[in-house]
Amino acid sequence: MRFRLIFSIPLAVAAMVAVPAAAGASWNQQAVFQDDHNLLERGDSVRERTLDELRALGVDVIKAQLSWSDVAPRGRRRPAGFVAADPAHYPGWARYDALVRDVQARGMQVMFALSPPYPGWATARRGDAVGVDRPDPDAFGGFAEAAGRRYPGVDIWTIGNEPNHPGFLYPQATRRRVPFAPHRYRALVRAAVAGLRQSGHAGHTILFGELLPIGKSRYFRKNTIKPLRFIREFFCLDSRWRAFRGRAARLRGCHRYRRLTGVTGFAYHPYTRPNGPRGREPSRDDATIRSYGRIARALDIARRKGRIGGPRLPIWNTEFGFQSNPPDRFQTALRRIPGFMAESELWISLRNPRVASYSQYTLTDTPVRAARDVYGTWQGGLRFDDGRPKSGVYDGYRLPIFVRLLGPGAVEVRGAARPGGAGAVVQVQQRPRGGAFRDLGGPLTVQNARGYFRARFRISRAAQRRYRFVYGDHTSRAAKAVTR
């Protein structure tokens, strides 16, 4: 790689070089954001205020769970005369209509996740209050077609939500401990793809997967399935990546496997343990954000074996974040989260050519009604449940910075002026131990449409300094250089 010398600067800084984007890296990954509580459940004024804030944060795509049971008719039995593919037969579109209108008016895109809970009349257990027990694929395909017809201007769709978790698809395995969820999910995916294509979305982005990154070691009805195992089973492949045959195939419904077509990407929730993105994986079948390669290899093997058609699939990060301490004392210390976020986005994701997006879930923590509830609710927002920004975390999302030590006298600074995109002007600064922040080189004009930039600096005592950048009226957190 060749570097172009921009200018020389005095004192401790010898020179700064602009670094072109690495070939094949994900410098155009989209910023996905999800907060269903604020955007779907709290009324017009909160939705509009939240969308204004997300636009100001530089978000590209708003993801929302389009819950089948939320829009479908209620009751224990399928209504007489109900036509699953006709959007006029669904009474619950109103808040989704408002979301689509307001998101698109602000220049952002909508990603709809066709998700559980499923209506009780469409599950194996009639009147199923939870709405996850063996949902009917044919009826789900009709719902997908109805949603597609209702929202012709939505061009990013994803199917399901964490189907390797029993709270979203039940059972995970049969009483004989044969995996069930991957195969029912495969039927749901096929039906949804057919419905979306029938409603005019064949040329749009259609994702599948939406898996949790860590599962249990053994198959039980209520145990989560590890993501790599789930993928193998989904494609009817055994632990050695060979097609199931004979009785094993019949037990899984794999004896008549057809190649999966019509999907354009794989959606994933690459959450980490509280110790961050560099923590060890529990097993070879688990895959947090540091192990995107495992997911890519699994998809590529399935493709080589003819289990899925089309080109190599990109991986979409569609749900991600770090639960904070406070308020949850068993989760990640608040002071560590900005660094974990920056490493996840600017180092791990940005370097991987298969990654299509980076996501944040949510803007605010889930409201807690009682002290003990904090351990069973989501506390990974950029703000606490009372609206206060989390120290370092909010700005860590708006202006992420990651500094890599290249040697005793050089660093690489990666950042994102996310709200500005191409044309944004940033100023990198450095502070020696015991000193004040001063400009490091001159202003940089961002060339990347998503606001990403990187630059390398020759500077003495590089490891002993702190670095930040300024964009407009905002300043990133101060970061030290790390070895990667």
| DSSP sequence for 253-317 | T-TT---B-S--EEEE-----TT-TTSPPSSTT---GGGHHHHHHHHHHHHHTTSB-SSPPPEEE
Domain 4-22+400-480 of CATH type 2.40.128: no
* Residue found by looking up tokens 């002993």 in the block: 464
> pTM for the whole thing?
0.93
| Inter-CA distances, 355 with 25, 192, 259, 270, Å | 8, 23, 24, 11
Q: Which of 268, 247, 243, 248 is nearest to 258 (CA)?
A: 243
For residue 417, give the 3-state DSSP assignment.
coil
Give the pLDDT of the chain (484 residues) as one tens digit per residue.
Answer: 322 222 223 334 444 555 555 556 779 999 999 999 999 999 999 999 999 999 999 999 999 999 999 999 988 889 999 999 999 999 999 999 999 999 999 999 999 999 999 999 999 987 677 899 999 999 999 999 999 999 999 999 999 999 999 999 999 999 999 999 999 999 999 999 999 999 999 999 999 999 999 999 887 888 999 999 999 999 999 999 999 999 999 999 999 999 999 999 999 999 999 999 998 999 999 999 999 999 999 999 999 999 999 999 999 999 999 999 999 999 999 999 999 999 999 999 999 999 999 999 999 999 877 666 666 789 999 999 999 999 999 999 999 999 999 999 999 999 999 889 899 999 999 999 989 999 999 999 999 999 999 999 999 999 999 999 999 999 999 999 999 9
Choosing among 3.30.1520.10, 3.20.20.80, 1.10.150.120, 3.40.30.10, the CATH entry for 30-398 is 3.20.20.80
Give the CA diameter of the chain.
81
Domain boundaries, the chain: 4-22+400-480, 30-398
For position 14, what pLDDT does the model report? 40
- Structural Rg of the chain based on CA atoms: 24
Q: Which of 116, 198, 199, 204 is nearest to 163 (CA)?
A: 116
